[in-house]
Structure 1
Amino acid sequence: MHGNARAMSDSVAALRGKHRGAYRPTTASWSRMRGLRAALLVAVLVPALLLALSAWRSWDAAWRSAETEVMRTADAAAEFARRLLEAQLLRIERANDILAGLSDAEVRIREDELQSALRAAAAERESAERETFYLFVYDRDAYPLVTSAAVPAARSRRMMDREFNRVLRPADAPPFYVSPVYVGRDTGRAFFAVTARRERTGNGLPAGTYDGVVNASAYLDHVNPALAALAATPDDVVALIRMDGALLARSAGFKIDPAAAEPRLLPGGPMLEVMARGDARAIVRARSPMDDVERIAALRRVGGSWPVYVSAARDRGAVIAAWRREIAPQAVITAVSAMLLALLAGAVLRRQHSLEDANETLEARVAERAAALAESEIRFRALVDVGPNFVWFATPDGALHYLNDRWFEFTGQRQEDALPDGWATTLHPDDAARTAATWAQARARGVTYEIEVRYRRHDGEYRWYLARAEPLRDATGRIEAWFGSSTDIHDLKAAQAALAESEARLRLAQEAGGVGSWEWDLGTGALFWSESCHRLHGTDPAVPVSYETWRDGIHPEDLPGVERAVREALEGRATGWAVEFRFRRRDNGTLRWIAGRAEVVHDPETGRALRVHGVGLDVTERRDAEERQALMTRELDHRAKNALAAVQAAVRLTPKHDPEAYARAIEGRVSALARAHTILAAGKWEGAALRALVEAELAPFETPVGEAAPDVRRVAVDGPDVALAPDAVQALSMALHELATNAAKHGALSVPGGRVSLSWRVEEGAGLLVLNWRERGGPPIIEAPVRRGFGSRVLEATLGTQLGGRVERRWEAGGLDCEIAVPIARVLAGSATQCEWHVEASGRARTSAM
C-alpha cells in the first residue's frame, strides 16, 4: 500500500496500545459472537453466489446476443437475396424485351447481335470482367438458342436434365423458378438460376403455350463472398436454402459433385419443419449436414413469393467460448474477493476473540474496536485495488487525494506524480481541455460528473474510459468530497466502430444489384428510400420523403397509369406493380425514365395491406435509344418518299420520243438528285450550304465542248454563305440541273467560248432569296421560245409550286437571263415557318421532329 495506508496501519497499532483493562464476556457478548460468525460466513459466500448469478445471466445473455446477431445477419442477408433475385427477374424481363417477336429461326440467324444485347442486359451495373451473371435462352425442346456468355450456345446439346427446362412446362406452372446448384459444363463454375418462360415469341404458338425459358444464372463465386461480407463474425455461416432443403449458396462454401445429387438439408430436421410451415423467421439449433457442426441458426424467409430462406448460423462452441471469455475475469475477481473476505473474516474473528478474552479497560476496548475499523478500511481499499476500475477521491475544490493501485499500474505514475493534479498529464491532448471544462462545470453546479476520455497507458497506448464522479454531502447539503471511478470502455468503443463498419458493408451489399430500393409503411405512411434510391430521384438523403414526394415528381402524362397500378395493388387486385414512368429529378429538374417494381405485403390473417417493398432502375438511356431509332426510321421514310416522288416526276415528265435522249435525261436528273442527297447525308440531313450545292450541280458542265479540260472557269459563282433547309436542297438541285442542261444543249455552255454566271443575295426586307442566272457568249437568240419544254415545267413545279417562289426569264440577244426569287421562310435552314411547312408536308405531329 501507499503512504495513506501505512499511516492508517500505524494509527491502528497506536490504538492497540492504549487503555488496556479487564473484561469479562457476558451472554450478550457470546450471542454477538455467534451473529458475527454467521454474518462473516454470509459475507464470504456472497461473492460466490454473485458469481453464480452473474454466470447464469451471462449464459442467458450470450445465447440471446448470439440469437440477436444471427437474426440481424439473416435479415440483412434476406434483403440482399431479395434484391439479387428480383434483379435476376429484371434481367429476364429485359431479355424477353430484346427477343420479343422473334422466332427461334430468327434468333439463331441473329445470334451474334442478340448475344451482345443479352450480354449488355446481364452486365447492367456490373463490371465486365467479373462476369457475375449470365443469361441463357432455351427453346421449347430444351436446346440452347442464345446466351450472353462469350462462348456461343451449343445448339446440339439438349438440356432436358436441368430442372428449369422441365418445371415450367405445365400450364399451371409458377411464374418463375429457382433451380438447385449446377456446375457449368463449359465454365466449370457452380451456379443456381432464376428461370421464367419466354414471352411474346414469334413462333406463332397460341397464347399461354410453353415456348422455352430464359435462364438468369447467379454464380456462387460471387454470391458466397457477398454472404460472407454480411456475417457478423468470420466464423458465422450464412446460406441461401430453397424451401425443399436444396442448398443454393453458402458463405463458407460447400463441396459440389456434378455426378452426385445436389447438396441439401437432412430430411426431418428443424429447418425443414420451419420452411414447411412457411414461418417468416425462426431460431433453431441443428447440426449442419455440410460439416457436422452444431450451430444456432436464424431462419429468415426472403421477402415476396420467393421459395427461398436465408440461414445465418453460429457455432455452439463459439457462443460458449464467448460466454467463458466474459465470465473468466469475474471468476478471478470473485476468487480473490472471497479469499480476501475470508482473511478479513478470520481477522475480525480473531480480533473479536482477542477483545472478548482481553481484560482491557473500556478505553482499551474502544481503541481496539477503532483499530479493527481502520484495518477493515485498509482491506476495503485492498479490495478496491483488485477491481478493474480506477477509484479516486477528491476535495470539494477538485484536488485528488487518493487513487487506487489500478491507476498506478496502468499509467506507471508514482503517487507524488499523480496527486493532486498530475493525473491530468495522462489525458489525450484532444481530451484535456474538454475534460477540464466538464470537471469545473460539475463542481460549480454540484452535479454528477461524467465524460468519456482517453488515458495514456505506461506503454504509450491510449485507451477509452468512462469517468464518473458523485458529490458526497453532509447533513446540510454542503459538498464534503467527491467520489469517482473510471471504467474501461475501449473494447466497447471498438465494437461500436466495428458495428458501424458492418452496417456500411451492409449498405454496399444492398446496392450490389445497382438499383434503388424503398419501403412504404402503409400504417404510418412513412416512406424509406435507400441512398441509391435518393441518388436515382435526385433527392437529399437527409430530408425525409413521402408518397407525395414521389408522386409529385412523376410526369403528368404517366401519373394516371402509375396511380392506377398502385391502387389496384393496394386494393388486392394485384400482388404489386411493374411500371415505367418519367420522373423529374429534384436536384436539377431533368426528366429520367425509371422502371419500378413493387410487391405488397399483407397481413396473413386479415389480408390487410401492411407495407410495400420496391426497387427502381434508371432506364433513360434505353428509352432514349428506342425513341431515337423510331425518329430515324420516320425521317428515313420521309426522305425516301421525297426522293422517289422526285424520280417518279422526272420519269413521267421527260419526253420519250427519243430513247437515247430519254435515258440521258433521266440519268442526268437522277444524278442531280443523288448529288443533292450526298450533300444532305454529309450534313446529317440537317441542311446544306447553297455554294456547295451550286458547285456540285454545275461541276459536270465545266468542260467545254470539244476540249479535254477547261482553260478558265466557264461558270462563275458569287454570293454570301447561305444554309438551305433539307427540302429546299432537292428542289434547287433540280432547278439548277435543268438550267445547266438547257445551257449545255442550246445556250452558252453549248459552244467553247460561252460563259455562265450565277449570283445570289438575301433581301431581308422582302423576305426573299434571289438567284440570278446569266448566260453570255452562246448562240445568238433571235426570239423567245414559243413552246414550254420539260425544263420550264420543272422550274415552275419545283420553284413555284414546291417552294412558293417565282421564275422570271428574259431572252436577251446575248443569252438567257433568269431571276429566281423564293421566300426565305421556305428555303433557309432553321426558319420557324419552314419547320412548320415541313411538318405539314410530312404529316408529323411535332415541329421538334425536325
Structure 2
Amino acid sequence: MLSELFPDLKHNPNSALRESRILPLIDAFEWSKTSLGPISEWDDAAVVTLRIMMGSSLPMALMAGRDGIMLYNDAYIAIAGGRHPDCFGQSVFDTWPEVAAFNRDILERVFRGESISLTDQPFIFQRNGPDEEVWLDLDYSPVYDRAAQVVGVLAILSETTKRVQAEQALSRTREQFELALDASGIIGAWDWHVAENRVYSDAHFSQSYDVGIEEGLAGAPIERYLPAIHPDDLPHVQSGLEETMRSGTSFLGEYRVRGSDGRERWVLAQGRAVFDEDGKCIRIPGISVDISDQKAAADALQRSESGFRTLANAMPQIVWSATPDGNHDYYNARWSAFTGVQAGAAQNMGWLNYVHPNDVEEVRSRWAHSLSTAEPYQVEYRLKNVADGYRWVLGRALPTFDERGDTVRWYGTCTDIHDARQIAAEREIEAHELSHRIKNIFSVLSGVIGISARFHPESRDFAADLRQRIEAMGRAHNHMRPRSDLAGAEDARSEFFAFVSQVLEPFLYGGDGQRRISLSGENLVLGDSPATPLALLLHELATNASKYGALSQPSGHVWLRSRIDGDMYEILWTETGGPVLHEPPNFEHGFGSRMIRLNVEGQLGGSIVKTWPPEGLHATIRLPLRSLERSNRLRSMDRASS
C-alpha cells in the first residue's frame, strides 16, 4: 500500500522516508474496516496532506472524516506518548477520552470551514498513565476535496509545557526576589551597556528613577535616569562613572534621588567595569541601596565615615552577586558579620567552605543547575555562623540577561530563617492539636444530635441528615487541614477531584464494591475558603441521589464532570439508572435545596440550574474560579505580592 502514497519510493534508496516509523503502520493497517475505506479510495486531498505530513519535522495529525480517524507523522509520537501506536487509525474521541468534548467542538467548527489557532492551550492528559498537565500550541485547518467539501482536519501541534512551567517558576521566584530586595533595602539592580548606551534595570530601580518598568527592562539611554539625581550630586556621579570606565576602579557613589513618588532619598550605588579584550569598557553592572535611614543616622553622628559605613551595611540579609559562570565576586558587610570571615575568603566558589558538609552537595547541584539552565536559584541550607555554629538560611538568586537573552549576572540574597523554621515546627504541632480538637468538636456534635434524637423520635430523620452534613464538613476539614513545612505555614490546597472523593467517600461505592460516582474533566486546585460550602453542596446532592435518585437503585450511577470555562468552573452532575421521573420531586423545594442555593449563590457567588429528565437529575453548577481559589488564611509572601 505504500506505493499508493509514494509510488516511486522503491526507486529512491536514500529517501528519509525509509526510516519512518509511521509508514509501516499505514502499510499494515486494515483501512477497509474503517469509515475511510482502502487507501485507493481516499480523496486526493487526504493523500497529499499525508505526504506533506510525512516530510515534516513538526508534529502533525490528520483527523479524517466525521469520526476523526487519527493519522499522524513521526514527530507526533512524542505528543501521543504511551498511547502510540494503539491510537493510530482510531477515532480521536476514543483515543483521547479526557479531551473528547474539546476535540468534538474542534471538528464541528473546522468541518464548518473554520480555521483555529490556540496558544499555550492547557490540558490534563493521561497519555502515560496518571494525570499530566500539558500545554500546547495548536493550529487546526480544514482539508477540502475537489468539491470544496471538508473531508478532514489537519492539526499542527507544538508542546510548550516546559516553557510555560519555566515561566511560571520564574515569575514566582522573581516575586520572592523582589520581596527580598524590599526587606534588605536594596532599590534594585542595573547594567549599563556602554557602547550602545543602554541601562537595563529591574522594576525597583526603574521606578526609583522615574523610568517605566518596561522601558527599564528593555534598556533605556542613561540620560533617562540622570534627571532623577539631585543636581548638586549629578557631577559627582558622572565623574565617578567616567573614572570607572577609564581606570577600571569600582564605582561607589552616594547621592540623592527623587523618584516618581516625589520622595527624595539617599542612594548608595556600587558597580564594576567590564572590559573587552582591547581594554575598552563595555559594561558597568551594579546595585543600588536605599541608605536614607543610614544617612540620617550618620548625620546624627556628625557624619562619621566609620559610623556611616557601619549603618550602610547593617542590612538584615547577606547580599551577593556572581558572574555568569557562577563565581561570586561581591558580598555586603552582612556576610562578614554572619560568618566571621572576610568576603575575600568567599570569592569565586570559596563560599562553599562555609556551608554545612551535609548540605554542600545539594547546594552545589542546584547552583550548577541554575547556571546551566538560567532557572531561578533557591535552596535552604545551613551556613556557618560566627556565634551559633550553623544556622539555616534561604538562598535565592535571579539572573539578568542582555538583549540576546544571555545571562550577564546573578544577584542573590541569603536570609536567616533559622528561627522561622523552629517556629514553623512548633506551629505544625499546634496545628495538629487544633485540628484534632476541631475533629473532636464534630464528633461531640454528632453525638449530641444522636442522643437528642433518641428523646425526640419525631426528629430522627432531620437529626440523621444533620449528622451526615456535619460528618461531610468534618471530612472536608480533615482534607483541607493546613499543613506546614519547616520554612513556614502554607495555605491548605487540594485538587478538586481529591476533595470530592474525600467528601463523597460514603457514596462512592455500592454494597457490591462497584463504583457509583465517576469523576472526569479538568481538575482544579482549591483554596480552603470554599471547602465548607462546597462540601455541603456535594453532600446534599449525593444524599438526595441515595434517597430518591440514581444511588437509590443498585444499577444507578452518578457522573460528575468538570471544566474550566473562562473565569468560571463548571460542574455537571448527571444521574442515570435511578427511578424514572415524570416531574421534579417534592423535596426540590425543601430545606436541603434551599441550602444548596444558599451555598452556591450566596457563599460561592455562582449559579445552579437543575433539570429533571426521566433518567434522573441533571445539574449544571457554575462557580467563579476566584471563589474556589480563596484562602481564609494570610497568603504566603510570594502570593501576597502578586
Q: TM-score range by the shorter chain?
A: 0.3 to 0.5
Q: Name the larger-Rg structure.
A: 1
TM-score (norm 2): 0.33
Give the structure with the larger strand fraction: 2
Query: Larger RCO: Structure 1 or Structure 2 (Cα < 8 Å, ≥ 6 residues apart)?
Result: 1
